């Protein structure tokens, strides 16, 4: 037996790598806690200690990617400490990007950990359903999409699993192990927990109001009745189990007083909010296009122009109509405040303002704005970006690509024989296939890639910092794995494939030419036999 065939050696390697994975989880859990509160010194110290332990484990067990990330996180935290605990926008952005990279390590296809068959960097999802067949089918579907699912066949098995490890989410039938017993198990599982575990409840029959209220009190985030649709369940679990992907709120501060603007910046930075300061109002539109803030803070009175005048200019641009504007001023005349609010403003805060009040207001407004924007720019069926916004993101990405001199690819995908799926199995099954491909793409592409539903069964992907061959490898692997998914149906299970065309941005080429070339490559893939990836090459 050769060294590579030694099973005990492989088990040892897996064990060592798992130690690193567990420590990475710990770092990410601390990071997630930071996003729910102000960045206290105690939490920062805890994060620094956890990242140092990750570095030690990674070096000891020769996990180079984790080691590099741990060193970079440690350097970032030392930079904050040397700055007397003050957080700059650059440090927050850098730390967030490092955490996003850490959360993806071990998840992506082609990752070093796929070769050692390690579980994904997520806690498992526990399934506790009366029908074992249903539970097994759901487990298989979840695992196709990178979610680690674990069946619990009885109440005791569920308790044992909970005692061993807390899950990222629970799918629990209300009558699991007996009428109403699922609700009792849920309450039991939540006892003593500082943060409630997210639970998706299921019931064959329509639930009455008291049952639904009991489910909410037990931590129920969703309640499915009748049939447990796999696509809807996957979509909800994707939201509930997303691992440490934190995109900091971004705020643009426009104030002619450098001292006041710096104070506002420091207050927001202390809460992990990325802030850019503009002291000359005429620069605001350029900053908006480049920075894309979630919220704008305007001074009311500036020498070059009034805050209300700048708000009008901003609102004239359709892209910024929904960005919240908060006036921050010493003006205490209520009538003038109300007049300012009518001029494109969403809120008025009077100086001096308590830091906690400012942070809470910004977070609340920015969170709501993101939610509303998501409804405006995303497709309702899949949650992906809609056609118009996908092209806007492609335009933004092409501008960055030209500035930074990096490659950019654009891919178009089309589900093969989709009309036949709708005609044979019905439109609900067609919708299910579309949502499944959307989830599959979200799971297997980077967070920095943009995925859109171009229309019908057609999808588009913007791949920044990616050359043509790298894009081909990634999408070829996704194509191959998507074809393996089976959808339970009659008279036999259904499987689907897609065709894909990819083009790379060339010099002096605009996004219309780029999308046209990707479309031409897709056309060749469809007419060359389907279920294939074609490149547009000059």
Q: pTM of the entire structure?
A: 0.58
Q: What is the pLDDT of residues 223-260, one digit of tens each?
A: 988 777 666 677 677 667 654 445 678 899 988 888 88
Nearest residue to 295 via CA among 315, 322, 316: 322
Same domain as 526, residue 395: yes
Q: Decide: 256 and 244 in contact? Cβ < 8 Å.
A: no
Q: What is the number of domains present in the chain? A: 4
How far is it, in rounded angstroms, from Cα 497 to Cα 376?
A: 29
How far is it, in rounded angstroms, from Cα 104 to Cα 98?
A: 10
User: How far lies 510's CA from each of 11, 341, 516, in Å?
Assistant: 52, 39, 10
Same domain as 220, residue 111: no
How far is it, in rounded angstroms, from Cα 148 to Cα 165?
A: 13
Indicate the residue among 64, 90, 116 that finishes a domain. Answer: 116
Q: Which residues pair with 250 in a beta bridge?
A: 274
Whether 177 is in a domain gets the answer yes
Q: Decide: 54 and 31 in contact? Cβ < 8 Å.
A: no
Strand ranges (E), 78-213: 125-128, 149-151, 169-173, 199-203
Whether 381 is in a domain gets the answer no
Whether 382 is in a domain gets the answer no
Q: DSSP secondary-structure letter at 283?
A: G
CATH number for position 73: 1.20.120
Instruction: Supply 263's token pair.
Output: 């104070």
Whether 5 is in a domain gets the answer no
Pairing of strands 274-278, 250-254: parallel
Q: What is the pLDDT of residues 494-508, one digit of tens each?
A: 889 999 999 999 887
Strand ranges (E), 185-249: 199-203, 220-225
Amino acid 230: pLDDT? 63
Same domain as 82, residue 110: yes
Whether 472 is in a domain gets the answer yes
Same domain as 135, residue 40: no
Indicate the residue among 240, 258, 288 that finishes a domain. Answer: 240
Same domain as 267, residue 158: no
Instruction: Supply 334's token pair.
Output: 């209520």
Q: What is the pLDDT of residues 354-411, one digit of tens each?
A: 888 888 889 888 888 887 877 778 887 888 899 988 998 898 889 888 888 889 999 9
How far is it, in rounded angstroms, from Cα 375 to Cα 251?
A: 21
Same domain as 110, residue 55: yes
**Residue range(s) defining the domain that contains residue 518:** 387-535
Same domain as 501, residue 402: yes
Same domain as 99, residue 39: yes
Q: To the nearest 10°, the Cα dihedral for 496, 477, 238, 160? A: 100
Amino acid 95: pLDDT? 82
CATH number for position 276: 3.40.50.2300
Tokens 């420091």 sit at which residue?
266
Pairing of strands 450-455, 458-464: antiparallel
Same domain as 79, residue 187: no
Helix/strand/coil for 236: helix
Same domain as 140, residue 74: no
Same domain as 412, residue 310: no
Whether 53 is in a domain gets the answer yes
CATH number for position 516: 3.30.70.270
Indicate the residue among 240, 267, 288 that finishes a domain. Answer: 240
Nearest residue to 471 via CA among 514, 435, 526: 514
Nearest residue to 280 via CA among 308, 261, 267: 261
Interacting residues of 8 by C-beta distance below 8 A, sequence separation 6+: none
Instruction: Supply 325's token pair.
Output: 């504007």
Termini Cα distance of the chain: 50
**Edge-first strand listing for the sheet containing 533-535:** 450-455, 458-464, 408-415, 498-504, 533-535
Task: Find how far residue 534's CA is from the centre of its chain.
Answer: 28
Whether 2 is in a domain gets the answer no
Which residues of the chain carry a pLDDT beneath 70? Answer: 1-17, 35-40, 83-89, 104-122, 143-146, 229-232, 235, 238-239, 241-247
Strand ranges (E), 25-146: 125-128
Same domain as 408, residue 496: yes
Instruction: Supply 476's token pair.
Output: 């070829």
């Amino acid at each position: 037996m050769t060294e590579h065939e030694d099973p005990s050696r492989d088990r040892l390697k897996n064990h060592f790598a798992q130690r690193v994975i567990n420590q990475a989880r710990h770092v990410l859990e601390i990071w997630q806690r930071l996003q729910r509160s102000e960045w206290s010194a105690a939490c920062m110290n805890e994060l620094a200690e956890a990242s140092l332990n990750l570095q030690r484990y990674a070096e000891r067990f020769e996990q180079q990617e984790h080691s590099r990330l741990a060193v970079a996180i440690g350097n970032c935290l030392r930079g904050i400490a040397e700055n007397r605990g003050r957080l700059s926008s650059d440090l927050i952005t850098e730390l967030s990007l490092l955490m996003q990279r850490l959360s993806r390590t071990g998840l992506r296809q082609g990752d070093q950990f796929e070769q050692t068959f390690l579980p994904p960097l997520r806690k498992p999802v526990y399934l506790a359903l009366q029908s074992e067949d249903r539970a097994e089918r759901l487990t298989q579907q979840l695992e196709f999409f990178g979610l680690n699912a674990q069946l619990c066949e009885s109440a005791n098995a569920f308790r044992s699993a909970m005692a061993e490890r807390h899950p990222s989410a629970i799918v629990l039938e209300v009558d699991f192990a007996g009428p109403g017993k699922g609700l009792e198990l849920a309450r039991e599982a939540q006892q003593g927990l500082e943060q409630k575990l997210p639970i998706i409840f299921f019931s064959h029959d329509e639930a009455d109001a008291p049952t639904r209220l009991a489910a909410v009190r037990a931590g129920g985030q969703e309640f499915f009745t009748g049939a447990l649709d796999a696509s809807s369940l996957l979509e909800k679990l994707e939201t509930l189990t997303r691992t440490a992907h934190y995109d900091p709120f971004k705020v643009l501060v426009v104030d002619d007083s450098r001292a006041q603007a710096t104070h506002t910046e420091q207050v927001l930075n202390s809460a992990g909010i990325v802030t850019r300061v503009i002291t000359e109002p005429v620069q605001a539109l350029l900053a908006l296009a480049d920075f894309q803030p979630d919220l704008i803070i305007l001074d009311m009175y500036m020498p070059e122009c009034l805050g209300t005048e700048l708000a009008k200019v901003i609102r004239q641009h359709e892209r910024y109509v929904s960005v919240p504007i908060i006036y921050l001023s010493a003006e205490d005349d209520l009538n003038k405040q109300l007049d300012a609010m009518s001029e494109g403003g969403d809120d008025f805060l009077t100086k001096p303002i308590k830091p906690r009040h400012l942070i809470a207001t910004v977070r609340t407004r920015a969170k709501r704005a993101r939610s509303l924007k998501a409804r405006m720019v995303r497709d309702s069926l899949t949650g992906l970006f809609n056609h118009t916004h996908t092209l806007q993101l492609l335009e933004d990405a092409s501008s960055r690509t030209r500035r930074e001199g990096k490659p950019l690819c654009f891919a178009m995908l089309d589900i093969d024989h989709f009309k036949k799926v709708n005609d044979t199995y019905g439109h609900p099954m067609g919708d299910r296939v579309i949502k499944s491909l959307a989830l599959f793409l979200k799971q297997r592409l980077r967070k920095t890639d943009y995925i859109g539903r171009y229309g019908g069964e057609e999808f588009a992907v913007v791949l920044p910092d990616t050359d043509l061959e790298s894009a081909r490898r990634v999408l070829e692997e996704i194509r191959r794995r998507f074809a393996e998914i089976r959808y339970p149906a009659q008279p036999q299970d259904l499987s689907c494939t897609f065709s894909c065309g990819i083009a790379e941005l060339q010099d002096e080429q605009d996004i219309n030419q780029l999308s046209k070339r990707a479309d031409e490559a897709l056309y060749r893939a469809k007419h060359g036999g389907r279920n294939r990836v074609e490149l547009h090459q000059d």
